[in-house]
Amino acid sequence: MRKIQVLTRKEDIDPSKLTHCTAVVIDVLLATSTIAAALHHGIKEVIPVANGDEAIAVYESYRHEECLVAGELGGYPLEGFINPDPLELIQADLAGKSLILSTTNGTVAIKNASTAKRVYTSSFLNGAEVAKQVRKDQDDSSLVIICAGSMGNFSLEDFLGAGYLISELVKPDLENWTLSDSAHTAYLSYQSQAENILPSFQKSATGRLLTELGYSEAIRYATQPGILPVVPRLENSRLVHMN
């Protein structure tokens, strides 16, 4: 029996407890959706950073024509950075380039989870593919799904994203998995809304903020389950698509 547990905020990550676990980070509005879209549309790698200063430092170590820098803080694009809206980003010339990405919650969660045996990122866009890979790993260690949350707060959309991933993981054989209380609740929450998930995204605190900031179409895009066959895995502090 393999155990699944869910952390509902990045602040709940204890790096020392992840060393023997597989971690999956979820920040569906918008970091992990942006990561999936970027890798699917030709980005070579995504470099998650903690803040704008780190993004600039990493950028300065690259030949500038070889990379892009995207970032936000509190939902607002960082000055001089590309807007990390997945629909906007994929309009750029991404082929073969590196993307340096700084977000308030998602990229911080990824860096904090880097002590895990394996680290993947998931969203509604690519959750089905990530679930296939986790099952393929044939590893009996615990799976820790990390919802990035929003500046220390619980995020409904990330919790539903965790529930979607769990539903894809256990679909063939629920009896072979042990769900913690938080994992079971995420699973049931998603199952109750699976046929019409968009309103929950739009009504969530993050969804309302992003709608005000002009991300309405990005929110709609991020609710599409299983449309991108992408498995982002953290390797040497970079997210790459597993082939």
pLDDT, tens only, 24-71: 999 999 999 999 999 999 999 999 999 999 999 999 998 888 999 999
**What is the Cα–Cα distance from 237 to 49, expressed in whole angstroms?**
9
**What is the Cα–Cα distance from 103 to 176, expressed in whole angstroms?**
35
Residue 243 has pLDDT above 90, yes or no: no
**What are the domain boundaries of the chain?**
2-238
**What is the Cα–Cα distance from 60 to 219, expressed in whole angstroms?**
32
Backbone angles phi, psi at 86, to 5 degrees: -60, -35
Q: Can you give the pTM of this predicted structure? A: 0.97
Rg (alpha carbons) of the chain, rounded to whole number: 16
Architecture of domain 2-238: Alpha-Beta Complex (3.90)
* pLDDT value of residue 219: 98
* pLDDT value of residue 229: 98
* pLDDT value of residue 131: 98
Percent of the chain residues past pLDDT 90, beyond the cut: 94
Q: How confident is the model at residue 6 (pLDDT cuts 50, 70, 90)?
A: very high
Give me the mean pLDDT over the 12-28 stretch: 98
Q: How confident is the model at residue 135 (pLDDT cuts 50, 70, 90)?
A: very high
Q: How confident is the model at residue 87 (pLDDT cuts 50, 70, 90)?
A: very high
Q: Would you call the peptide bond into 101 cis, given omega within 30 degrees of 0 as the criterion?
A: no
Q: How confident is the model at residue 139 (pLDDT cuts 50, 70, 90)?
A: confident
* pLDDT value of residue 190: 98
* pLDDT value of residue 13: 98
